[in-house]
Amino acid sequence: MARKKPEALREMKNEELERQLAVLTEERFRLGFRRATEAIENPLQLRAMRREIARIKTILAERKRA
């Protein structure tokens, strides 16, 4: 999963952001289960995923307020 810069996320449409949010949320859920049952190769991947989800939610909230 490549990290996207906030500027790149802001250029995306709301539908694309919501789709990306759903994909990341599902990946995070699966990774959490995998972490509980076995060792994952990159434990920092969970942190990066959480932060990416937060970035997307922040941008969607900003647009909703505007």
- Give the span between the Cα atoms of 26 and 29, in whole angstroms: 5
pLDDT for the residue 43:
87
Residue 3 forms part of a structural domain: no
Per the structure, the count of domains in the chain is 1
Residue 19 forms part of a structural domain: yes
Residue 42 forms part of a structural domain: yes
pLDDT for the residue 6:
83
Residue 6 forms part of a structural domain: no
Domain that holds residue 49: 13-65
42, two tokens: 């990159």
For 9-58, write each residue's pLDDT tens digit.
899 999 999 999 999 999 999 999 999 999 888 889 999 999 999 999 99
Residue 2 forms part of a structural domain: no
- Give the span between the Cα atoms of 58 and 39, in whole angstroms: 31
pLDDT for the residue 2:
65
Residue 1 forms part of a structural domain: no
Residue 4 forms part of a structural domain: no
Nearest to 60 by CA among 7, 21, 3: 21
DSSP alpha helices (H): ranges in 1-66? 6-11, 14-37, 44-65
